[in-house]
Amino acid sequence: MDHNILKYFLALQLFLVAIKGELFTQEEKVKLKQIHDDCVKETGIDKSVLLEIIKKKEYPDNEKLKEHLLCSSKKLKFMTEDGNIDKDFISKTLIAKFKQEKIVDDIVKTCAVTKSNLLDTAFEMIKCFHQYAPEELDILEFFEAN
């Protein structure tokens, strides 16, 4: 399936879910914010780097960023502690959230690909998932300072 079509359908679904206010529960928001905060502390990344990525969807080749994305991927359970991508968990999680099994499966197949090392795997996977996130999805609330 064409990636632009996938992006359109996922964007539409995410937009509809976000309008209904059902995308993230308060508990999920707290958990995502905690994962982010923990990984910022563990990696020492400058938060401004993350904010620019979210706003521009441009990912600089930055070791701290890669460490942060690996940390986040593990804490989200998208990757195991030994660095393997858990495609089944990612698919189940995203399907439960977005209710679009075929689209999610296609995106996971496209994005959840092992690279030459753990840092690059997490970096490329999250970068790929981010390209499918619609503009309407406001994830800044998880990354901005309290």
31-69 residue pLDDT tens? 888 888 999 999 998 888 888 777 777 888 889 999 999
Tokens of 62: 């930055």
Q: Is the pTM of this model over 0.75?
A: yes
Q: How many residues does the chain have?
A: 146
- Please tell me the predicted confidence (pLDDT) of residue 56: 76
Question: Residue 114 belongs to a domain with what CATH number?
Answer: 1.10.238.20
| Among 85, 87, 105, residue whose Cα is nearest residue 95 | 105
Residues whose CB falls within 8 Å of the CB of residue 140, separated by 6 or more in sequence, listed in order: 51, 54, 55
- Report d(CA 40, CA 72) in Å as an integer: 9
Helix (H, G, I), strand (E, B) or coil at 21: coil
The C-alpha atoms of residue 123 and residue 26 are separated, in whole angstroms, by: 27
| pLDDT given at position 103 | 80
Which residue range is the domain that position 31 belongs to?
3-142
* Total of domains in the chain: 1
Q: For 75-129, how does the pLDDT look when each residue is reduced to its tens digit (9 = 90+)?
A: 999 999 998 999 999 999 888 877 777 888 888 999 999 999 999 999 999 888 8
